[in-house]
Amino acid sequence: MLTARGWWWLFHSAWATGVGLLFRLEGISFLGLVAMAWLLAAWVRLRLCTAGFPRVVSLTRTLSDRGGSLRMLRAGRQTRVRVALRLSGRLAWPLVRMEDRVPDDGMWTEVIKHPGWWPGVEGTLAPGGELSAEWNLDFPLPGIARFEGLRLTVMDRLGLVANVLFLRDGTECPVLPAGATADGEGTGLKRANLMPPPGGHRLRKAGGSSEILDIREYRPGDSPRWVAWKLSARRDRVLVKEFENEVPVHCQVIVDATGPVRRWRPGGSALCRLSMAAAEILEACDELRDPVGMIITTERDAVVERPNRGGRHRLRLLQRLAMESAMPPDQPPVDEDPLPLFEPAGRLAMEIYPELYGSSEVLLGWNRLLLGPGRPGFSRHGGWTGWIFRNRGYIWLAPPLVLLLAYVMASPWLCLAASWSGPALWVITRLLTVQHTLRLRERKRLASVLAARQGGDPALVDAFLEDDTLLATRLRAFLAEHRRDRLLPVPAPPPLTTFSRARAERMARAVRAAVANARDPECHFLLTDSTDLPNRIEVLTAAARLVRSRRHQLVIVLDEGLERAGERELIAAMARLGVPVLLTRPGLASGEVGRLVASVRRLAGRIA
Amino acid sequence: MNAPPNTQPLPKFMAPLACALVLLALLQFVGRTTWMLLPPGVLAIGAFFPLSRLPGVFFLSLPLSLMLETTGKGPEEMLDALLSPMGFRNVGEPALVDMQVEDIFSLLLWLSIAAAWIHGFRELAHLALAKADPFPGPKGRKGPSPLPRAMPVAADQRRSVTIGVLCLGAGILVVVILQAASLSEEVSYAAILRARLATLGGGGVLVLLSVRALTGYLHWRAMPALEAGLVAQEGAWREGAREFTALDRWLTWARLGARRRAERQWNQLTRRRKKP
């Protein structure tokens, strides 16, 4: 393609050549021809040096932070990305702009200063040479960092012709939810944590050791044997001895990963915050050397990780949380017009798949556009021009009808008009429906890219061309996969519910499963948000009552949504059962949840 | 290598100025008026203005000065003509800067002018690189390029540019001389013009098609899997769109019809239902 500078070059050399040839000024026409030949030579050279793409280049990407190279990122921690491009072709690339696409949900640290730009470098690339760029990546929320690739703009030395290429990378790194910072104060509940030997007798209650850990006020329910009589007499109030807990407390973190929690809101989805809170709970339990398990409930199933200890187990849990946080909510099929999605989807496709979306292969042939799609066509084209567009195949009926009319009326003029009626109507129809033609062309490009992403089924292209609901659903999924659906209007809910809304039942079932598989003593953490839960509060209350009846501890971590409907009722109902509810919100300080959980467990006394 | 653009020193201004002076000296052999001072004047004035537009203005000024030179009337004569309405003296005079194909000195002169032209533009383009972003990019970007640059030095490629311009110019001269030699003296200029247009247009199209075919073949050899899948998909779709998908369309029609019927029945049911 010609750059702006190249178009000016072509314009000036063209008019110099034209004037020179027209007025027989050999010198000026010679100058114009030399300039045009220079442009042509630059174009040929650029085509040749980029012809073997992407085989002629190779890409190396390294991630690092202060501690060295990385394979997994941490949310909220800055990462240094280094990307190097090596040219193995025979022809040098005279001018290159190499830009690295920032992963979705990630942030280039200098993007505020340079809106619209990607990090990169500009320079020249000799055969066997290397061009490298370094930039800082910030990932505020857990998920998966997918590096799509590099956008390469190659130009000749004068900047007259350019070629825009995209070198696909596809490297994926999990972004683990960051726990509390390591410099937090310890919980001070344990000095030792002895696992019973296999077949050994386990203590019925925690905290039954002989080592005194602390002295505290008497609380109703404390055993009289724990009262520190002498100290109480000296202080004139009842004090009890708190013993060390030598028994590991099995912790189960139950994370709600259903659709409403995954929905994106300003500041991140609730699931991202719950994952951060779960990571802090994992860290707090790890500090106490308690085995931790996890149950993640989704719309389809529940993933169960049995309680265990150790670094590999914790890493597996964190990776699972990162994967769940990265997935957008399921979008049920909605009957809607896909036209408003064309523009953002086209922009995204041009950004990520320029070789597919910009290819001339995927354009609808002009012959098909002129003749029109076969009957019947179901894609919605509104208005009277849309009606004409949909029914333009009936134009062929016009000449015989006019001919019939001419026969009936015995009119030679109508007989003459019969031969012209077809072409004339065709031209009028084309002019009236040009917007629908262009829309169909755009639709064909998007359909081809979507079908190629899903394996290259040619029948799928036709299905996308015909079925509005299918295309709109897939376009929404494509945009959601790359986090571009956030500014789109939410479609109307489907008339018939196609997925379960029984979130409270799912939560209660997960809690009951955790209790059923429990080995005393046990502590359960339920992480969810308050959307729709208070409507079915009795289900959750029953589950919480079951937990308390087994003398387990239950802590609910509730994400504060934008609409806090029923939050108070839930907190009050849980307070009656003695279940503490912790609230998280956007902007909560790192480690706050971990500290709250530790203090709750300390207050719980007997269990911790 | 990764120095920010504002700290990178601009190349010297001497090279384009030297080009302009050489051009001026060369043009003294063919020029008669002072219009030939226009391109170096643009360079001199451009030193005080932002560099972003200077290559284009310089590029425009060269043929413009030559065109004005062919009139044979410089600014002084034009001033005279303005002052005295009867002062049209040089009308119809043959062009002074016309190229004489037979004259080797004239050929060398024009070749040098072309080389100086492209060289001057090249130096200015390098100078303007820091100011005006030549890279095409997506819309919505604000400000100049913030990316660090490791640009080549302008002086590195002067020799190759000179050789390139000389080769191109020599090739075009050969074409022009052959065209002139193949036509007899009595043939009108319109016939020569037609022959030239046919040669140039046809040659250009031939070069474009052959280069596109060659690079298309190279790209086909190096195509990534996703793009190859797309090409195969499009081929299959084009071949089977007419026959195979007719059935799919009717199936779609049947499915949508059944759905509409079900919705209509559902609406009727819910409308007629009486609340207890």
Q: A375 in helix, strand or coil?
A: coil
Mean per-residue pLDDT for A242-253? 76
Please state at what angle helix A592-604 crosses helix A270-287, rounded to 10 degrees: 50
Tokens encoding A564: 């806090």
- Interval A93-106: pLDDT, tens: 988 999 999 998 89
From A568's Cα to the closest Cα of chain B, the distance in A is: 34
All residues of chain B having their beta carbon less than 8 Å from the beta carbon of residue A47 are 211-212, 215
Separation between Cα atoms, residue A475 and residue A498, nearest integer Å: 19
Amino acid A27 reads G
Written out in words, the top-level CATH class of the domain with range A250-330+499-604 is alpha beta
**pLDDT over 90 percentage in chain A:** 28
In this predicted structure, the answer to whether residue B41 has a pLDDT above a threshold of 80 is no
What separation in angstroms does the CA of B266 have from each of A335, B1, B61, B271, B275? 17, 70, 77, 8, 16
Residue of B129, B146, B168 lying closest to A117 (CB–CB): B146
What is the full DSSP assignment across B115-183?
Answer: HHHHHHHHHHHHHHTTTS--S---TT--SS--S-EEPPPGGGGHHHHHHHHHHHHHHHHHHHHHHHHHS
Q: Which residue has the higher pLDDT, B129 or A372?
A: B129
What separation in angstroms does the CA of A379 have from each of A323, A333, A335, A339? 36, 16, 12, 10
From A431's Cα to the closest Cα of chain B, the distance in A is: 25
- Cβ contact, residue pair A53, B222, below 8 Å: yes
In this predicted structure, the answer to whether residue B96 has a pLDDT above a threshold of 70 is no
For the ranges A59-73, A486-500, B58-72, B213-227, which has the lowest average pLDDT? A486-500
Q: Is A489 on the interface with B (CB under 8 A)?
A: no
From B125's Cα to the closest Cα of chain A, the distance in A is: 6
- Cβ contact, residue pair A117, B99, below 8 Å: no
Mean per-residue pLDDT for B113-137? 75
Residue of A34, A110, A448 lying closest to B230 (CB–CB): A448
Separation between Cα atoms, residue B16 and residue B62, nearest integer Å: 14
Residue A62's H or E segment, with its range, is strand A57-65
Mean per-residue pLDDT for A12-17? 86
In this predicted structure, the answer to whether residue A145 has a pLDDT above a threshold of 70 is yes
Residue with tokens 């030598």: A246
Q: Is A71 on the interface with B (CB under 8 A)?
A: no
> Which one is the CATH code of A57-176: 2.60.40.1580, 1.10.10.60, 2.60.40.10, 3.30.565.10?
2.60.40.10
Task: Quote the mean pLDDT of chain B.
Answer: 70
A–B CB contacts, 8 A cutoff, strictly below: 252
Question: A257 pLDDT band (50/70/90 cuts)?
Answer: very high
Domain ranges of chain B: 14-132+153-182, 225-272
Separation between Cα atoms, residue A143 and residue B136, nearest integer Å: 33
Alpha helix (H) residue ranges in A270-338: 270-287, 311-326
- Cβ contact, residue pair A51, B97, below 8 Å: no
Interface of B with A in 158-177 (CB under 8 A): 164-165, 168-169, 171-173, 176
- For residue B13, what pLDDT is reported? 55
- Interval A538-560: pLDDT, tens: 888 999 999 888 888 888 888 88
Residues in chain B: 276
Question: B93 pLDDT band (50/70/90 cuts)?
Answer: very low
- Cβ contact, residue pair A4, B242, below 8 Å: no
Residue of B60, B101, B169 lying closest to A34 (CB–CB): B169
Residue of A131, A162, A453 lying closest to B135 (CB–CB): A162
Residue A101: phi and psi, rounded to 5, are -75, 125
Residue with tokens 């052999």: B29
Residue of A54, A94, A120 lying closest to B222 (CB–CB): A54
Q: Cβ neighbours of residue A445 under 8 Å, at least 6 residues apart?
A: A346, A349, A357, A362, A363
Sign of CA dihedral A219, A221, A226, A232: positive
- Cβ contact, residue pair A21, B256, below 8 Å: no
Q: Is B105 on the interface with A (CB under 8 A)?
A: no
- For residue A341, what pLDDT is reported? 93
Give the global pTM. 0.73
Separation between Cα atoms, residue B204 and residue B210, nearest integer Å: 10
From A50's Cα to the closest Cα of chain B, the distance in A is: 8
From A309's Cα to the closest Cα of chain B, the distance in A is: 43
% helix, strand, coil for chain B, step of 5: 70, 0, 30
Question: A474 pLDDT band (50/70/90 cuts)?
Answer: very high
- Interval A392-441: pLDDT, tens: 778 888 888 998 998 888 888 888 888 888 889 888 988 998 888 888 88
Separation between Cα atoms, residue A226 and residue A236, nearest integer Å: 16
All residues of chain B having their beta carbon less than 8 Å from the beta carbon of residue A41 are 164, 168
Rounded to an integer, what is the distance from CA A570 to the centroid of its chain? 31
Separation between Cα atoms, residue A542 and residue A548, nearest integer Å: 10
Tokens encoding A535: 């409507």
From A595's Cα to the closest Cα of chain B, the distance in A is: 43
In this predicted structure, the answer to whether residue A181 has a pLDDT above a threshold of 70 is no
Residue of A nearest to B211 (CA): A44
End-to-end CA distance of chain B: 82
From B240's Cα to the closest Cα of chain A, the distance in A is: 8
- Interval A21-44: pLDDT, tens: 777 777 777 788 888 888 998 999
Give the pairing of strands A553-559 and A522-529. parallel
Closest alpha carbon to B46 in B109, B125, B156: B125
Residue A143: phi and psi, rounded to 5, are 160, -145
Separation between Cα atoms, residue A359 and residue A353, nearest integer Å: 10
- For residue A211, what pLDDT is reported? 65
All residues of chain A having their beta carbon less than 8 Å from the beta carbon of residue B151 are 95, 122-124
Separation between Cα atoms, residue B263 and residue A304, nearest integer Å: 40
Closest alpha carbon to A538 in A580, A577, A573: A573
